[in-house]
Amino acid sequence: MYGLGLAKGLIVTAKNLVLPSRMMTVQYPDRKVGLLGLAKATDTSILNLLLKDPVTSFKALLGMTEVKENLPQHPRFRGEEFIWYEQRCTGCASCAKYCPLGIIEIVTSESGDQIQEGQKYHLDKFDIDIGRCMFCGLCVEACPYDALHMGSGFEEGQYRRQDLVIDKRRLVSAKKKPSTWFRPQLSSKNYDPQKGKNVKWDGAGRHEKPSLEQQQEKWAKR
């Protein structure tokens, strides 16, 4: 039994060394499409595609155009990356307090802004260790200002554990395509993270920020 298994393993290894198609494997290969398939993938008409990008359209006619193959995914999928809006965050650290594993580390300092409203803190550090995250979503539920959202991706494989820590710089520069998990304002709009556009900070929250006049009137009545 052991000899047969060893022989099979050696045959597979030999195939991987000899056959060019097995020397490099792609987990999610791109799919070749024609002009109609390219129009469906870009969610546009064939006429608009021919007018806007004639070169790519010609390549699609020749079968030389490839598009990424994305498997169907629910909009409420809780992915590995997080979507964070710095403009909505006050540094209250509610997400870090409610995290059962303590993977969110926040360091703040007094900013001196909006003192009447309780003073908005300056965020010196905002780290999320997704290597230890179980994606329960409690941090997203705890955020009172909808500054933190679950992501929709699942390709976050790294060679080093420290690369699994998402710092403030990566959070700010990441694409803003949040999951609709615990975000009824996005679900009501039938938002799809895979097909939809980036969501701006003023459209990601359940509450609109009051204007300066409304704030002044509010504090004048106190």
Predicted confidence (pLDDT) per residue in 31-61, tens digit = 888 888 888 888 888 888 889 898 988 888 8
The more confidently predicted of residues 5 and 75 is: 75
Do 83 and 193 have their domain in common?
A: yes
Domain membership of residue 185 (yes or no) is yes
Do 167 and 59 have their domain in common?
A: no
Domain membership of residue 150 (yes or no) is yes
Do 52 and 142 have their domain in common?
A: no
Q: SS3 for 73?
A: coil
CATH assignment of the domain containing 134: 3.30.70.3270
Domain count, the chain: 2
Do 44 and 97 have their domain in common?
A: no
- Determine the pLDDT at residue 120: 66
Do 140 and 173 have their domain in common?
A: yes
Domain membership of residue 13 (yes or no) is no
Angle at alpha carbon of residue 210, lines to 208 and 216, rounded to 5°: 175
Do 32 and 140 have their domain in common?
A: no
Domain membership of residue 222 (yes or no) is no
Domain membership of residue 144 (yes or no) is yes
| Position 101 pLDDT exceeds 90 | yes
| Position 28 pLDDT exceeds 70 | no
- Determine the pLDDT at residue 39: 87
| Position 2 pLDDT exceeds 70 | no
* Percent of the chain residues past pLDDT 90, beyond the cut: 33
Torsion (CA) 193, 139, 126, 204 in degrees, nearest 10: 40
| Position 217 pLDDT exceeds 90 | no
Do 56 and 103 have their domain in common?
A: no
Do 56 and 83 have their domain in common?
A: no
Domain membership of residue 102 (yes or no) is yes
Where a domain ends, among 11, 36, 69?
69
Do 40 and 108 have their domain in common?
A: no
Do 55 and 162 have their domain in common?
A: no
Do 36 and 121 have their domain in common?
A: no
Predicted confidence (pLDDT) per residue in 133-157, tens digit = 999 999 999 999 999 999 988 777 7
Predicted confidence (pLDDT) per residue in 62-76, tens digit = 888 888 776 788 899
- Determine the pLDDT at residue 32: 83
Q: Which residues, in sequence order, are CB contacts of 88 under 8 Å at separation 6+?
A: 145, 146, 147, 201, 204, 205
Domain membership of residue 99 (yes or no) is yes
Residue 78 CA, distance from chain mean position: 9
Domain membership of residue 220 (yes or no) is no
Where a domain ends, among 50, 69, 88?
69
Q: Residue 6's pLDDT band (boundaries 50, 70, 90)?
A: confident
Do 169 and 140 have their domain in common?
A: yes
54: domain range?
Answer: 28-69
Count H helices, E strands: the chain? 9, 7
| Position 1 pLDDT exceeds 60 | no
Predicted confidence (pLDDT) per residue in 175-214, tens digit = 999 999 999 999 989 999 988 889 998 888 876 656 667 6
